[in-house]
Structure 1
Amino acid sequence: MKYLIAIIGLLVVFGLAYIASNGKKQIRYRPLAVMVVLQIILAYALLNTEVGTWLIGGFSTIFKNLLDYANVGISFVFGGLTLVQDANGGFPFFLNVLMPIVVISALIGILQYIRILPFVIKYIGLVLSKINGMGKLESYNAVASAILGQSEVFISVKKQIGLLPKHRLYTLCASAMSTVSMSIVGAYMMMIDPKYVVTALVLNLFGGFIIASIVNPYRVTEEEDILEVREEEKQSFFEMLGEYILDGFKVAIVVAAMLIGFVALIALINGIFSAVIGISFQELLGYVFAPFAFIMGVPWKEAIQAGSIMATKMVSNEFVAMLDLGKQTALSARTTGIVSVFLVSFANFSSIGIIAGAVKGLHEKQGNVVARFGLKLLYGASLVSVLSAIITGLFL
C-alpha cells in the first residue's frame, strides 16, 4: 500500500510542478528520471544498508564531538548554565542548541581559508552538472548553498548576479531555499534524529534540481556556461576567524529572536482561534496540510497532526516546527521520520525576504526580480521537501 501511495504522491508533486511550469515544452525528462532514480538509490543506501548506517553514524559523531567541544566554550562563558535543566526537564535551548552554531561557523571559515571547501564545492558541482543537465553555475550554487547558507552563497557568485537572466536567477534562489547551511546542521541533530537530517540534505540537493527542471526549464549554452566564483578578499587568519565567529553568533541571535517572536505569536493566535471557534490555528492548518502528509506516506489517522507541524514550518520556520515535533508523543516512528525529512529545509515565508534581501544587497535590480517571484520560490521549495519526504517514506 505504501508503494501505491508513494506513486500517487510522486504524480501529485510532479503534476503540481508541471502546472506551475513556465516552459512545459522545454522540460527534459531523461535527467529528471535519472535524478529520481538516484534519490531512491541514495535513500535506500542511507536508511537500509550497513554502509549508510556507518556513514550517518560517522557524520553524526563528527557533529556530536563538535558540539561537545562547543560546550567547553559555552560553559566557560555562561558558568555551566548549560548543565542546568529547566522546569520542564529540558535544557536551555539558546545555550545548548543555538550557541554551538558559533563554533561550527568558525570551522567553516577555517576550511574556507585553507581552500578545502571551495575545492570540494566546485568539483562536486561540476560532477552534478553532468547529471542534472543544468549549467555549472547552478550546480556549484546548489552545493555551496548546502554548506555556506542561503544568503552567504550569493556573495561567492557576486560577479555574475547582475548578468543572470530571470530563469537562471530563479534556479539559484530555489537551490538556496531548498537546502540548509552546514553551520546549523548540528542544531538540527539535537532536535531530530541525525539520520533524517543527513538523508534530507542529500535528497534535497537532487530534489531542488528536479523541481526546478520542471517549474523553470531551460538550456544553458556553452557561452553562458561559465563558472566565475568570487575570491574572498585576502585576510589574515585571525581576521577571518573573528569574522566567521561573529557571523555564527549573529545567526544564533537572529534564530533566537525569530523563535521568541514566532512561538509567542503562534501561541497567541492559537488562543484566539480556540476561544472564537473552538479549534487552534495549528489544528486548522493541520486539516489543510493533511492531504500532503498522507501522500508523503503518513497514515491518515496521524495526517492532521503531521500536517499541523508541516504548516508551522511554512508559516514560521523549521526550528519552531522541530520543537513541535519533539513534543508529539503519539506519532509513530514512521511518521516522525517522514515529517523530520520534510522539515530540513529553508522553505518558509521568511526565507523569501532573506534571499531577496541578500541578492538586493549585491545588486538592487536583481533583488527586486527575486522579490517578484518569491511566492513561486516557496512553492517550488515546498514541493522539494514533499518529494524528499515521499522518497524517504518508501524505506521506513
Structure 2
Amino acid sequence: MKYVIAVIGLLVVLGLAYLASNNRKQIKLKPVILMVIIQLILSAILLNTNFGLIITKVFAGVFEKLLEYAASGISFVFGGLANEGEAPFFLTVLLPIVFISVLIGILQHLKILPFIMKGIGLLLSKVNGLGKLESYNGVASAMVGQSEVFITVKKQLGQLSEQRLYTMCASAMSTVSMSIVGAYMTMIEPKYVVTALVINLFGGFIIASIINPYTVDAKEDILEIQEEKQSFFEMLGEYIMDGFKVAIIVGAMLIGFVALMAGINSVFDLIFGITFQEILGYIFAPIAFIMGVPWAESVNAGAIMATKLVTNEFVAMLDLTNIQSEFSSRTIGIISVFLVSFANFSSIGIIAGAVKSLNEEKGNAVARFGLKLLYGATLVSVLSAVVVGVVL
C-alpha cells in the first residue's frame, strides 16, 4: 500500500510543479526521471544499509565533536548561568553555530571549500541538465548558506536571466546551511538530517526544471567565483560575528514566533474551540498522507508541516520533539526530512534582501517571484518526504 501512496504522492508533487510551469514544452523529462531515481537510491543507501549507517555515524560523530569543542567556549563565557542538570536551548543549540561558522570560514579561506563546491557542481551539471553556475550554486547553498552564497557569484548576478536567477534562489531556499546542521542534529535524528541534505539538492533541481525550464547557452555558462581578499584574522573575526548574528537572529525569531503562535492558538481556542495549529493540521493532512504518513497521524503531522511554513524549521522541530511519542518511527522520519530546509515565508525576504544588497534590479525580480519561489521550495520538501516514505 505504501508504494501505491508513494506513486500517487510523486505524481501529485510533479503535477503541481507542472501546473506552475512557465514553459511546459521545454521540460526535459530525462534529467527529471534520472534525478528521482538517484534520490531513491541515495535514500535507500543512507537509511537502509550498513554503509549508510557508517556515513551517518561519521557525519554525526564529526558534528558531535564540534559541538563539544563549541561547548568549551560557551562554558568559559556562560559557565554558571545554567542550573545544574539543565541545558538552555540558546546555549546548547544556537551558540555552537558560532564555532561551526568559524570552521566554514577557515575552509573557505584555505580554498578547500570552493574547490569541493566547484567539483561537485561540475559533476551535478552532467546529470541535472542545468548550467554549471546553477549546479555550483546548489552545492554552495548547502555549505555556506542561502544568503552568503550570492556573494560568491555577485559578479555574474547582473548578467543572469530571471529563469536562471529563479533556479539559483530555489536551490538556496530548498537546502540548509552547514553552519546550523549541528543545531538540527540536537533536535532530530542525524540520519534524517544527512538524508535530507543530500536528496534536497536533487529535489531543488527537479522542481526547478519543471516549474522553470530553460536551456543555457554554453557561451553564457561561465563559472566565476568571487573571493574576498582578507587576512586570516580578518576572516576569523568576520565569521565569528556572522555566526553570532545567526544565533541571535534565530533566537529572536524563535521567541517571537513561539510566543505569537501560542497567542494565536489561545485566541482561536477561546473563540472557535480549536487551535490555529489544529486548523492548519486539517488543511495539510492530505499532503502529509501522500507523503506516506498514516491517516490517523496526518492531522498532527500536517500541523507541524504548516508551522514550519508559516514560522521556520526550528519552531516546527521543537513541536515535533514535544509530540514525537504520538508518532510512529516512520512518520517521524518522513516529517523530519520535510523539516530540513529553509522553505518558509521569512526566507523570501532573506533571499530577496541578500540579492538586492548586491544588485538592486535582480533583488526586485526575486521579490516579484517570491511566492512562486516558496511554492517550488515547499514542493521540494514534499518530494523528499515522499521519496523517504518509500524506503522507510
The alignment's TM-score, normalised by the length of structure 1, stands at 0.98
How far apart in 1 are the matches of 2:28 and 2:390? Answer: 25
What is the match of residue 133 of structure 1? 129
What is the match of residue 185 of structure 2? 189
What is the match of residue 240 of structure 2? 245
RMSD: 0.8
Identity %: 71
**3-state DSSP of counterpart to 2:230:** coil
Closer, same or farther: CA 82–115 of 1 in aligned 2, 3 Å: farther
Alpha-carbon distance, 1:255 to partner: 0.2
How far apart in 2 are the matches of 1:61 and 1:314? Answer: 30
How far apart in 2 are the matches of 1:129 and 1:79? Answer: 48
Alpha-carbon distance, 1:224 to partner: 1.2
Number of residues of Structure 1 aligned to a counterpart in Structure 2? 391
How far apart in 2 are the matches of 1:255 and 1:236? Answer: 29
1:360 aligns with 2:356: yes
Q: Match for 2:8: what amino acid?
A: I
What is the match of residue 60 of structure 1? 60
How far apart in 2 are the matches of 1:40 and 1:346? Answer: 22
The alignment's TM-score, normalised by the length of structure 2, stands at 0.99
Alpha-carbon distance, 1:229 to partner: 1.1
> Residue by residue, what CA displacement relative to the aligned partner does 1:144-202 show, whole Å, maximum 9, x if unpaired?
00000000000000001111111000000000000000000000000000000000000
What is the match of residue 154 of structure 1? 150
How far apart in 2 are the matches of 1:41 and 1:177? Answer: 23
**3-state DSSP of counterpart to 2:213:** coil
> Counterparts of 1:213-228 in structure 2 under 5 Å?
213-228=209-224
Alpha-carbon distance, 1:228 to partner: 1.1
What is the match of residue 19 of structure 2? 19
Closer, same or farther: CA 202–82 of 1 in aligned 2, 3 Å: farther
Q: Is the 8 A contact 1:75 1:82 kept in 2?
A: no
Decide which of 268, 271, 280 is 1:273's aligned counterpart: 268
> Residue by residue, what CA displacement relative to the aligned partner does 1:281-339 show, whole Å, maximum 9, x if unpaired?
00000000000000000000000000000000000000000000000121111111100
Decide which of 195, 198, 203 is 2:194's aligned counterpart: 198
> Counterparts of 1:28-67 in structure 2 under 5 Å?
28-67=28-67
How far apart in 1 are the matches of 2:196 and 2:260? Answer: 28
**3-state DSSP of counterpart to 2:391:** coil
How far apart in 1 are the matches of 2:299 and 2:224? Answer: 47
Q: Is the 8 A contact 1:82 1:96 kept in 2?
A: no
How far apart in 2 are the matches of 1:82 and 1:298? Answer: 38
Decide which of 250, 254, 271 is 2:249's aligned counterpart: 254
Decide which of 336, 340, 359 is 2:336's aligned counterpart: 340
How far apart in 1 are the matches of 2:261 and 2:195? Answer: 29
Q: Is the 8 A contact 1:339 1:389 kept in 2?
A: yes
What is the match of residue 320 of structure 1? 315
Q: Is the 8 A contact 1:146 1:181 kept in 2?
A: yes
Unaligned 5+ residue runs, structure 1? none
**3-state DSSP of counterpart to 2:326:** coil
Alpha-carbon distance, 1:85 to partner: 4.1
What is the match of residue 391 of structure 1? 387
Q: Match for 1:130: what amino acid?
A: K
Closer, same or farther: CA 282–367 of 1 in aligned 2, 3 Å: same
What is the match of residue 95 of structure 1? 91
> Residue by residue, what CA displacement relative to the aligned partner does 1:366-392 show, whole Å, maximum 9, x if unpaired?
101000000000000000000000111
Q: Is the 8 A contact 1:85 1:92 kept in 2?
A: no
How far apart in 1 are the matches of 2:37 and 2:85? Answer: 45
How far apart in 1 are the matches of 2:300 and 2:42? Answer: 28
Unaligned 5+ residue runs, structure 2? none
Alpha-carbon distance, 1:81 to partner: 3.6
> Residue by residue, what CA displacement relative to the aligned partner does 1:104-127 show, whole Å, maximum 9, x if unpaired?
000000001111000000010000
Alpha-carbon distance, 1:80 to partner: 4.1
Q: Match for 2:16: what amino acid?
A: L
Q: Match for 1:193: what amino acid?
A: E
How far apart in 1 are the matches of 2:22 and 2:279? Answer: 32
Decide which of 365, 369, 372 is 2:365's aligned counterpart: 369
Alpha-carbon distance, 1:84 to partner: 3.5
How far apart in 2 are the matches of 1:147 and 1:391? Answer: 23
Alpha-carbon distance, 1:83 to partner: 6.6
Alpha-carbon distance, 1:68 to partner: 0.5
**3-state DSSP of counterpart to 1:325:** helix
How far apart in 1 are the matches of 2:82 and 2:3? Answer: 44
Q: Match for 2:77: what amino acid?
A: V
Q: Match for 2:31: what amino acid?
A: P
What is the match of residue 303 of structure 1? 298
Q: Is the 8 A contact 1:297 1:393 kept in 2?
A: yes
Alpha-carbon distance, 1:235 to partner: 1.4
What is the match of residue 113 of structure 1? 109
> Residue by residue, what CA displacement relative to the aligned partner does 1:80-112 show, whole Å, maximum 9, x if unpaired?
4457445xxxx2000000000000000000001
